[in-house]
Amino acid sequence: MTAPPTTIPDAAQLTARLIRCPSVTPDEGGALVLLADLLGAAGFECHRVDREGVPNLFARWGARGARSFGFNGHTDVVPPGDPASWTHPPFSGHEEDGWIWGRGATDMKSGVAAFAAAAIGFVTETPPDGAVILAITGDEEGPGKHGTRALLDWMAATGERMDVCIVGEPSNPDRLGEMIKIGRRGSMTLRIEAQGVQGHAAYPHRARNPIHALLELLHELTAAPLDAGTAHFDPSGLQVTTVDCGNPASNVIPERARATVNIRFNDAQSSESLDRMVRERAAAISARTGVDFAIATEVSGESFLTAPGPFVDLVAGVVRQETGLDPALSTSGGTSDARFVKDHCPVLEFGLVGHFMHQVDERVPAEQVRQLARIYRRILERYFA
């Protein structure tokens, strides 16, 4: 008895089905089960990769070790807020006038639906000499410690490999096809505490004011640009996001003062070099003022670049053909899970227009999701041609 033919899902309808899975980080909500069932029926070998209670899904069609093309994305979403503020319930997947409504419609159940539909259609109708891999996480909107990182760790331990990868995050500002992300800035946060000597404001010679020393450090960090930018990146940027001493009295010099600094940096910098720069300036001010500094550094990711070449040209060529637009090669924006994938293989980001992300009444044009699926399908065909 032969197996029934595989049904190729419509990307827009699959988006609506995924939205109906209430997968607020870290709850899976049934989204990964739905995808595993669809992919498994199409011949994908599926594995649940759960770590520390965070659900993830790995799916591969084709032989392990064969030439491979990967997609990465997430099914978890941010909380919807007050459902009463929505025109349609946030997990309804409501379809009306060509739009699909619901939390995750843009970020990024539509992207996952598009590459899942494209992959199923491709391997069903034109089976490639190679492997197609989908790495889908439930922890992108949360801490990000046990999502794509867990999948990549599991892949390394089991001998799985993507040769190249597209992250399906929304990448276009206004029109589908106008931008491909070929890299991202690094991101780091420094929490700085200055400790001086408390005293009376009328007798400053008997105290050491940590606020003055901290402000001197912050002035040095912000007075001049960190760099002038590079070939594919804008200048690095440093922003002071908090300053506080918790002092309710106007006549007391406080003992401590704190500030938080966030740096988004290009490929002329590294978190290590920037951390060293801040600490050296703090040490010089400390030696002059007698105020001690304690600095805690958190690094969300290093900057990275997938340099223009065959992979970038292939994707840009398909986007140009399918949309009629010449996509800009950009490194703008915040961070994404591409910051983890870049240590595994060359990675690009290409997805839908980013309107309505994380907003009340998040929604996406159904036809745009179908167009994205066609683009992904054509990319697979070109890659394995």
**Residue 140 falls in the annotated catalytic set:** yes
| Feature table: binding site | 74, 107, 141, 169, 358
E strand spans, 138-255 = 164-167, 179-181, 183-184, 186-195, 199-200, 237-244, 252-253
**Residue 267 falls in the annotated catalytic set:** no
| Residue recorded with tokens 């960190």 | 226
Amino acid identity of residue 94, one-letter, is: H
| Residue recorded with tokens 């003062």 | 257
Catalytic residue among 28, 95, 139, 140: 140
| Feature table: binding site for Zn(2+) | 74, 107, 141, 169, 358
- Burial label for 29, CB within 10 Å (0-12, 13-18, 19+), is buried
User: Terminal CA-to-CA distance of the chain, rounded, Å?
Assistant: 32
- Residues 9 and 149: their CA atoms lie apart, in Å, by 28
- Residues 113 and 102: their CA atoms lie apart, in Å, by 14
The DSSP line for 68-97 is EEEEEEE--B-----GGGSSS-TTS--EET
- Residues 20 and 31: their CA atoms lie apart, in Å, by 8
Q: Which two tokens stand for residue 379?
A: 């990319």
Catalytic residue among 76, 216, 255, 267: 76
- Residues 268 and 234: their CA atoms lie apart, in Å, by 10
Q: What is the DSSP code (8-state) at residue 343? A: T
H runs (alpha helix) in the chain = 11-19, 31-41, 109-125, 148-158, 210-222, 271-289, 310-323, 338-341, 366-384
- Residues 301 and 184: their CA atoms lie apart, in Å, by 9
Q: Show which residues are catalytic.
A: 76, 140
